[in-house]
Amino acid sequence: MQFDFDNKQRKEILEIVFEKLENYYSSTQDFKTNPDLNINKIRESLLTTDLVNGIKPEKAIQHVTNGLETFSVHTPHPKYFGLFNPRSNYAGIIADLITATYNPQLAAWSHAPFAVEVEELIIREFANKFGYDKNADGVFTTGGAEANLTAMLCALNHKYQNFAKDGVFGLDKKPVVFCSAEAHHSIQKAAKVVGIGYNLVKSIPITDELKLDTEILQQKLNELDSSIYAPLMIIGTAGTTGTGTIDELNQLSSICKKNNIWFHVDAAYGGGAILSQDLKPQLTGIEKSDSITFDAHKWMSVPMGTSIFLTSRNDILGKTFRITTEYMPKEADKLTITEPFTHSIQWSRRFIGLKVYLSLLFYGWQGYEQTINHQAKMGQYLKNQLIENGWKIKNNTDLPVVCFAKSEFETDSNFPKEILDKVLAKGKSWLSVYPINGIPTFRACITNYNTTEKEIDELINELNIEFTNYLK
């Protein structure tokens, strides 16, 4: 048994992989958007291999790529109008391959100085784009959930000097987190993980514009029993998961300043707007925040596992995560650098940032501005075509997330579900149904840089056909 392969074998394997990936990448649109969820078939296919002796690499590659092709929702499909899951750009794919091969260890600066400095450069660039000053800090995370968790830990360590040492047992009052009812549930999860519990996350109702109602927020703050509770953080969402709505960031910032509360902006999806001169004004106020979550694996179309946490408070990541050990390399002790493992939830760290860096090297900020503008334009086109075809738009955002319904069926909760089931059964397009104020509406998002008017016309056609059938 040979654990490594020789040059000829490696080339053969890569060629097989290349052919498979190339076929998928160039003909993604020919796949059924979503699979039959046949659990028995999937489990049976996993029993056809031999984990004791192994199988030929060619067979193994066929096995996993066929499995993924048959049993996945094809998020890279141009008619995937789904959640914020992009088609990976080619730079990001190559970056993952390079990272896996060199496998740099980004826990310690001295082990991977080039990689760590690349990540720091990208952090500085984004901090600057979001309007933070040059003292800003940040770290790459695996996703928005880890970035939001990081934000909550930072808020706790900022407010309570001994939090790192004593944890929740040192708190004299219960810390309260405020966010809108439309905020992402990773915030509740973060409250579970940090040990304050999700009962302390207060969901503020939304306005008719689907934004966090700042008047109710102010009222809830006034009503807080200060003998038991202390406000910890207010989270504004810039691009809600359901409706793509951006909260009133300036107002939230003033409330935070006045009451000395940590202001976090969850811009996991909508943060991409900062890369477009046209869309950027939508995010005004984000520069006054204490911290920001931004998922590069959403609107920047890099593969999964790529998010950024930014903070305008230079000292807080160190305060939150610093730890000293004897066994970590000390070669860089005399340099003015930051040891990444002292700034992050993670210890061993993958070179996550290369996916963003290589993308910028391939396409530049200019390329990004173009693709983001294109997607926003396609969102507008989708909206216009829906209206023209008698659908009613239920949300109001410049981000390409469109929620829609039929006026005459708005109280018929069965209607969207039945139409959706029919569309998904055909597997030509993928979209979802999302409840706005409890009323189910269709939700279609442009998450793919390759989606054009043609795919949008086809989607609307499919919806119109199912609507006509429903009326029969």
User: What's the closest the beta carbon of residue 143 comes to ligand PLP, in angstroms?
Assistant: 3
For residues 237 and 432, which CB has a smaller minimum distance to ligand PLP in the complex?
237
Token pair of 244 as six digits: 């793509």
Q: Which residue is nearest to ligand PLP (CB)?
A: 144
Comparison of 84 and 126: residue with beta carbon closer to ligand PLP:
84
Report the alpha-carbon distance of residue 31 to residue 114 in Å, rounded.
Answer: 40
Write the CB contacts of 400 (distance below 8 Å, at least 6 apart in sequence). Answer: 244, 375, 376, 378, 379, 380, 382, 445, 446
Neighbour count for residue 279 (Cβ, 10 Å):
18
- DSSP code, position 205: P
Rounded distance between C-alpha atoms, residue 3 and residue 170, angstroms: 52
Query: To the nearest whole angstrom, how small is the minimum distance from the Cβ of residue 407 to ligand PLP?
Result: 29
**Cβ-proximal residues to 102 (8 Å cutoff; 6+ apart), any chain:** 351
327 CB contacts (<8 Å, ≥6 apart)? none
Q: How far is the CB of 87 from ligand PLP (least distance, A)?
A: 16
Please report, for residues 104, 144, 233, the alpha-carbon distance to residue 253 in angstroms, rounded to integers and kept in the order given: 39, 21, 11
In the complex, least distance from residue 147 CB atom to ligand PLP, rounded to whole angstroms: 7
Comparison of 248 and 266: residue with beta carbon closer to ligand PLP:
266
Q: What angle do CA 241, 259, 131 make, to 5 degrees?
A: 55
Q: Token match 């992402």: residue? A: 184
CB of residue 184 to ligand PLP, shortest distance in Å = 3
Least gap, CB of 267 to ligand PLP (angstroms): 7
Count Cα neighbours of 419 within 13 Å in the Cβ-side half-sphere. Answer: 28
Closer residue to ligand PLP (CB): 85 or 371: 85
Q: Provide DSSP, 268-312.
A: TTGGGGGG-TTTGGGGTTGGG-SEEEEETTTTT-PPSS-EEEEES
Going from the C-alpha of 67 to that of each of 43, 62, 71, 219, 308, the distances in angstroms are 10, 8, 6, 53, 31
Q: Which is nearer to ligand PLP, 188 or 276 (CB)?
A: 188
C-beta of 76: minimal distance to ligand PLP in Å? Answer: 17
Q: Which residues bind ligand PLP (CB under 6 A)?
A: 84, 143-145, 148, 184, 186, 237, 241, 266, 268-269, 295, 307
In the complex with ligand PLP, the residue whose CB is nearer, 268 or 378, is 268
Give the torsion sign (CA, 437, 438, 444, 445): positive
In this complex, which beta carbon is closest to ligand PLP, that of residue 87 or of residue 428? 87
Residue 270 CB, nearest approach to ligand PLP (Å): 7
Residue closer to ligand PLP by CB (options 266, 462) is 266
Contact 211, 294 (CB under 8 A): no
Cβ 85 to ligand PLP, closest distance in Å? 9
> Considering beta carbons, is residue 186 or 346 the nearer one to ligand PLP?
186
Among 201, 175, 81, 131, CA closest to 462? 81
CB of residue 447 to ligand PLP, shortest distance in Å: 11
CA 144 vs. chain centroid, Å, equals 5
H-helix or E-strand spanning residue 61: helix 57-70
The SS3 of residue 346 is coil
Report the nearest approach of ligand PLP to the CB of residue 239 (Å).
6
Residues of 410-430 as b/e, b for ≥16 C-beta within 10 angstroms? eeeeebbeebbebbbeebbbb
Q: Considering the complex, what minimum distance in angstroms separates the CB of residue 163 from ligand PLP?
A: 23
Main-chain dihedrals φ then ψ at residue 252, nearest 5 degrees: -65, -40
DSSP 173: S
